Amino acid sequence: MNFPDVRTLQQALDLAPPPRLNSAQDRVEHTAMQRRLLVAQEDERVMAEWRRRHPEDVAYEQEYWERRREEDTRRRHEERLDRRRRKALACAQADLVNAGGSSFFTEEYERWFDIWLSTSDDTDDDGGADDWSD
């Protein structure tokens, strides 16, 4: 329900009709949910106060997560480059064999399967942004 003239949750709860609880189990579940809601609201209030009092901790946390994102991006970029290099080597070996040459790859050699590696950016975790600078 919307109460345009009410400013707090407690005022809204006072005006709202009581919930329809059909059984003792419903009342227990409702009480537990209300308790969790109050805990969550208090947690949000305390965290807002903590952020107000300790801006240096907030800045440190933001820097930490920015570094992590940069490291993850760099790691994914290096993995893509490695896959592309391995696939290029395997394709060059396949071209050599197809031209009548001999390969140093044996059928059991793990690099032989690199020829079928996917080098697309479909598995990119950074929201679908393509990196065309490779």
pLDDT at 74: 96
Q: How far apart are alpha carbons 62 and 77 in whole angstroms?
A: 23
Q: What is residue 118's DSSP assignment?
A: -
**90 burial level (CB within 10 Å; 0-12, 13-18, 19+):** buried
Helices of type H across the chain: 9-15, 24-53, 55-98
Q: What is residue 18's DSSP assignment?
A: P
108-126 burial, b if ≥16 CB within 10 A, otherwise e? eeeeeebbeeebebeeeee
Instruction: Give me the phi and psi of 56, to 5 degrees please.
Output: -65, -35
Residue 1 Cα distances to 6, 16, 36, 43, angstroms: 11, 7, 21, 25
Per-residue pLDDT of the chain (134 residues; tens, 9 = 90+): 566 788 888 888 888 877 776 788 888 898 999 999 999 999 999 999 999 999 999 999 999 999 999 999 999 999 999 989 888 887 887 777 777 766 666 666 666 666 555 656 555 555 555 444 44
For the chain, which residues make up each domain, given as ranges? 25-116
Q: How far apart are alpha carbons 117 and 123 in whole angstroms?
A: 13
